[in-house]
Homo-oligomer: A and B are copies of this chain.
Amino acid sequence: MRRPHIGVCLGLVIGVMAVGYARARDTGAQTSTIEGNGYLIRQAALVLTMDPNLGAGGILGQLEDADVLLVGDHIAAVGVHLSAPSGVHVIDGRGMIVMPGFVDTHDHLWQSLIRGCATDDDLNGWLSRCTSSLSTHPVSEADAYAGVRLSTAGLIETGVTTVVDWSAPFGTPFIRGNVRALTDAKLRFAFAMFGSASDGADIVAIKAEFIDPNPLATLQVATHPAPFFATHVAEATAIAKALGVKLHVHVLENLRQVAEDPLGILQAAGAFALGRDLYTAHSIHLSDANIATLAGLGASVSHQPLSNMRLASGIMRYPDIQAAGIRIGLGLDGGTNDTTDLFNNMRAAVGLQRAKALDAHASPTVAEVLRAATMGGAETLDMESQIGSLTPGKQADVIVIDTQALNFAPVLRPVAQLVFNGQPQNVK
């Protein structure tokens, strides 16, 4: 069994709080002294900045044989032949790809507790067999904590640095175990909390205790736009509006949900007024009119291709949704995905569209899927000014991928190989 490199990874991912840092925005810019902790990744074979202003390759912003300087919790400089300020730790980047950490825009981290459940069933059967009984026999705080910590260890293995965790309606102890584990994992996260009046789970209280004091944390409000949840949708919409946060919902994941008109339920609850703060996961069985509606609102879509395959949910209209100008991020989706393999998720996003359309140019392309997994995900969260690219000044959410591995050799076309050869074991 491979030892998880959690220590190393967290060191790079989170950095430490800066006492002070020097910024250098351009290629080749230099810093001479720093205060606080610093890391210089030197001579990386490839830096995918995901900032078109910092390198070649269009949206990928590629630099070869380049350096990345991290000071405190920020990216201080990206360029070729940066000089090392005194006191920084120099990391040998030869043979490595350096890029922004992946943004997992829709997950259910507690569901590692039910891995492999009902793998012969679709969404409805899976919900019935794997989660329904948990509402009456709630997952304990300790179990929620353990499951979420297990999942976050897997996320770190596969290079995720920001995760959106859609919780569950299992009551306050569960919610507390869930958010405590997220906090302790030291990942950047958005906690999509499913609150309920009946069990006393208090979104405002959780926000005050766990989210507001944590610079890595943001809050979302979770609900489910189905007829039997209409009251909850209205309450959740009101809370999201009051707090100025996103409302995160599952929309049209299974074909049978078309008859429930989830967008109609959201509209009736006033959720369309949330505009950019409406966050719709799955969004598979959207009509042309549904796509136009979401585009008009400025809503975001989170796409879970591996889960959609496992649960026989279908193939999202990725090219049409992208063409409508809707922001798209990728998500792993918890127990219905199982593998916690971001590379596999990217491959599936690309391959599903190609297999359906018989067209190798169907979106997402290789570049588009890499962007969706990083900068695109940041945009869905309206966090693109903080994360998603290696733009100096942004947070030091950086991953290092070692291409000196059997599955990568020979490294001739590293960008394409990242998507088609990459495995979690390559993330240092």
Which residues of A are at the interface with B, using a C-beta cutoff of 8 A? Answer: 1-2, 4, 112-117, 119-122, 125, 150, 153-154, 157, 255, 306, 308-315, 338-341, 344, 347-348, 350-352, 354-362, 365-366, 402, 404-410, 412-417, 419-426
Cβ–Cβ contact A406 & B157, under 8 A: yes
Residue among B338, B404, B415 making CB contact with A420, cutoff 8 Å: B338
9 other contacts beyond A157-B407, A339-B347, with CB at 8 A cut-off? A113-B410, A115-B408, A120-B360, A122-B359, A153-B406, A312-B362, A339-B422, A423-B425, A425-B425
Query: Smallest CB–CB gap between A284 and chain B, Å?
Result: 9
Chain B residues with CB under 8 A of A311: 354, 360
Cβ–Cβ contact B358 & A314, under 8 A: yes
Residue among B309, B314, B406, B421 making CB contact with A347, cutoff 8 Å: B309
A401 to B34, alpha carbons, bound, how many Å? 48
Once A116-B420, A360-B122 are accepted as A-B contacts, the answer to whether A309 and B351 lie under 8 Å apart by CB is yes
Once A2-B425, A150-B409 are accepted as A-B contacts, the answer to whether A357 and B312 lie under 8 Å apart by CB is yes
Cβ–Cβ contact A413 & B115, under 8 A: yes
Cβ–Cβ contact A116 & B352, under 8 A: no
With both beta carbons as reference points, the residue of chain B lying nearest to A404 in the complex is identified as: B1
Chain B residues with CB under 8 A of A352: 309, 352, 355
Once A358-B255, A406-B4, A406-B154 are accepted as A-B contacts, the answer to whether A338 and B421 lie under 8 Å apart by CB is yes
Chain B residues with CB under 8 A of A419: 119
